[in-house]
């Protein structure tokens, strides 16, 4: 059986359409399936519509969070509740083309254990949004040693991959990177991002920046290494400033302004490094508390 996980947040206009569209495609291909909608603490009628759809369609399972825990938590909740021999994660807004699920499933039948959805085109995005996304994935690729430039959450995972991910105890998780990290036999399916049929995007540039910072610090130590690099550069700069200061004493040149700039620069670098270290200490604090990734308040369907 194939489990399709659909994280959902304020998607009241898309639930029924997504269930009908994906279900129709899989039925036409004679693929046994279940649709697992994970309501991430929506503020609209998303959960009530999931309940209605599950009553009409016994393929639909609904999971309801007690509050908003984020998309990463919703995906991992879906992985935990999925019963399929393989699992596909797809956005509820159908910007990931659902017909590609069949292509992924056929590759899984050929023995591939992870089938990555690779973006050929990101669709319509603002220049700032696209530039920041390219910067983030470039940094993540260098930090992890894995090419994540065109990666997405849209992918198929074999049951053994799902079990490996479910065994990971950490609270701060980055699904897209972890699914790379676990390894296994991989294949790729390319797709173009589609425009939304209904509703609005929940991702603003601000929320994407927060998402990027949270994930890069949860998966990589690269920012800590950046703090080390800044320290080395400032050390070199201090030697250069010392030489300039000695020369200025003998040449009677006023170097107060230059030294002031150096002090300000040093202070800025030190505070930045402390901020990076503080972020990692906060991550450690969250992990040590051992709180769950999410809390489920209700489940409907089989």
Instruction: Quote the CA–CA distance of 51 and 274 in Å, as a whole number.
Output: 48
For residues 166 and 275, the model is more confident at 166
Instruction: Quote the CA–CA distance of 175 and 246 in Å, as a whole number.
Output: 54
Confidence tier at 188 by pLDDT (50, 70, 90): confident
Taking all residues of the chain, what is their mean pLDDT, rounded to a whole number? 78
Supply the pLDDT for residue 174: 78
pLDDT at residue 142 tops 70: no
pLDDT at residue 132 tops 70: no
Instruction: Quote the CA–CA distance of 99 and 67 in Å, as a whole number.
Output: 32
Please say whether the dihedral angle defined by the alpha carbons of residues 47, 52, 55 and 58, taken in this order, is positive or negative: negative
Supply the pLDDT for residue 37: 93
Average pLDDT (119-132) is: 62
pLDDT at residue 121 tops 80: no
Output DSSP code: residue 142.
Answer: H
Using DSSP's 3-state secondary structure scheme, residue 4 falls into: strand
- For the entire predicted model, the pTM comes to 0.70
Average pLDDT (3-27) is: 89
**Quick check: 208 and 133 in contact, CB under 8 A?**
yes
Supply the pLDDT for residue 93: 84
pLDDT by residue (tens digit) across 212-267?
666 666 666 666 666 667 666 766 666 666 666 666 656 555 555 555 666 666 67
Instruction: Quote the CA–CA distance of 107 and 86 in Å, as a whole number.
Output: 11
Least confident of 1-10, 11-20, 142-151: 142-151
Least confident of 80-89, 113-122, 190-199, 288-297: 190-199
Beta-ladder partners of 302: none
Query: Could you tell me the CA-to-CA distances from 151 to 13, 134, 146, 209, 225 in Å, in that order?
Result: 27, 11, 10, 17, 25
pLDDT at residue 299 tops 80: yes
Among candidate residues 26, 34, 40, 41, the one with its CA nearest the CA of residue 5: 34
Instruction: Quote the CA–CA distance of 119 and 203 in Å, as a whole number.
Output: 18
Confidence tier at 280 by pLDDT (50, 70, 90): confident
Output DSSP code: residue 98.
Answer: T
Please say whether the dihedral angle defined by the alpha carbons of residues 173, 180, 206 and 218, taken in this order, is positive or negative: positive
CA atoms within 13 A on the CB side of 126: 8
Supply the pLDDT for residue 6: 93
Place of tokens 């991989």: 186
For residues 162 and 197, the model is more confident at 162
Instruction: Quote the CA–CA distance of 179 and 53 in Å, as a whole number.
Output: 30
């Amino acid at each position: 059986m194939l489990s399709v996980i659909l994280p959902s947040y304020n998607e009241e206009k898309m639930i029924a359409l997504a269930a009908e569209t994906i279900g129709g495609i899989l039925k036409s291909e004679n693929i046994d399936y279940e649709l697992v909608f994970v309501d991430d603490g929506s503020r609209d009628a998303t959960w009530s519509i999931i309940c209605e759809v599950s009553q009409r369609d016994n393929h639909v399972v609904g999971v309801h969070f007690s509050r908003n825990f984020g998309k990463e938590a919703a995906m991992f909740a879906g992985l935990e509740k999925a019963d399929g021999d393989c699992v596909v994660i797809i956005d509820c807004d159908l910007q990931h083309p659902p017909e590609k699920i069949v292509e992924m499933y056929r590759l899984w039948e050929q023995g591939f254990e992870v089938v990555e959805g690779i973006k050929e085109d990101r669709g319509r995005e603002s220049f700032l949004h696209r530039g920041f996304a390219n910067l983030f994935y470039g940094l993540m690729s260098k930090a992890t040693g894995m090419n994540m430039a065109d990666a997405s959450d849209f992918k198929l995972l074999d049951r053994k991959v799902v079990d490996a991910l479910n065994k990971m105890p950490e609270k701060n998780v980055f699904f897209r990177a972890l699914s790379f990290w676990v390894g296994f036999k991989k294949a790729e399916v390319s797709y173009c991002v589609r425009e939304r049929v209904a509703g609005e995007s929940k991702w603003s540039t601000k929320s994407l920046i927060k998402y990027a910072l949270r994930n890069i610090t949860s998966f990589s130590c690269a920012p800590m290494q950046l703090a080390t690099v800044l320290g080395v550069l400032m050390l070199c700069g201090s030697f250069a400033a010392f030489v300039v200061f000695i020369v200025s004493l003998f040449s009677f040149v006023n170097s107060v302004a230059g030294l002031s700039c150096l002090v300000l620069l040093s202070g800025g670098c030190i505070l930045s490094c402390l901020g990076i270290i503080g972020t990692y200490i906060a991550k450690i604090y969250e992990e040590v508390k051992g709180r769950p990734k999410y809390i489920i308040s209700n489940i409907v369907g089989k």
